[in-house]
Amino acid sequence: MDCNGILSKYEPKPENLLEILHDIQDASGNNFLSDEDVVSISEYVKMPVDLVESTLSFYSMFSRKKRGKYVIRICNSPSCYISGSENLIEYIKDKLELSDNSTTKDGIFTVEISSCLGLCEKSPAMMVNEEVYVNLTKEKIDNIIADYRGRK
């Protein structure tokens, strides 16, 4: 469904902004919101573009640049850090041949470092899109990445 089709599902009110942003980003195929999307949303909900942009920049789940099909968010909160997240972050980046907040050459994975996923009691933790993974080890990460690679 295109941007206008998604917009038509909602009343043109600012309080629908977050739901609209999620739906349009999910439908984009590249996990991001384009300049055209932002302008269309702004006009539809009658909000200034800079207010829509500030909403996008506040929430880490939204992106203004193309991302992989699977977005891996690795928690680096104090709890996860103490549980070894720093080593796991480096492990994932090495395994996927990435730097921070970048996408694999095949466009399958994007890695983003998160300040907190709210899973402190099960650290270290990460999310792949909306799926949560906890008590991570290198072996678990290998299995998770292999599983998603198999889904392509």
CA distance 134 to 1: 34
Residue 29: pLDDT band (50, 70, 90) is confident
C-alpha dist (Å) from residue 14 to 7, 8, 11, 17, 31? 12, 14, 9, 5, 22
- Contact status, residue 53 vs residue 38, Cβ threshold 8 Å: yes
pLDDT digits (tens, 9 = 90+) for 111-144: 988 888 999 999 999 999 889 999 999 999 999 9
- Interval 11-25 mean pLDDT: 93
Short-list 28, 36, 34, CA closest to 69:
28
Is the predicted pLDDT of residue 81 greater than 80, yes or no?
A: yes
Q: pTM for the whole thing?
A: 0.78
Average pLDDT, the chain: 90
Give the pLDDT band (50/70/90) at residue 16. Answer: very high
**Predicted pLDDT of residue 64:** 87
Does 33 or 60 have the greater pLDDT score?
33
pLDDT in tens, 82-118: 999 999 999 999 999 987 668 999 989 999 888 889 9
Confidence band, pLDDT 50/70/90 cuts, at residue 38: very high
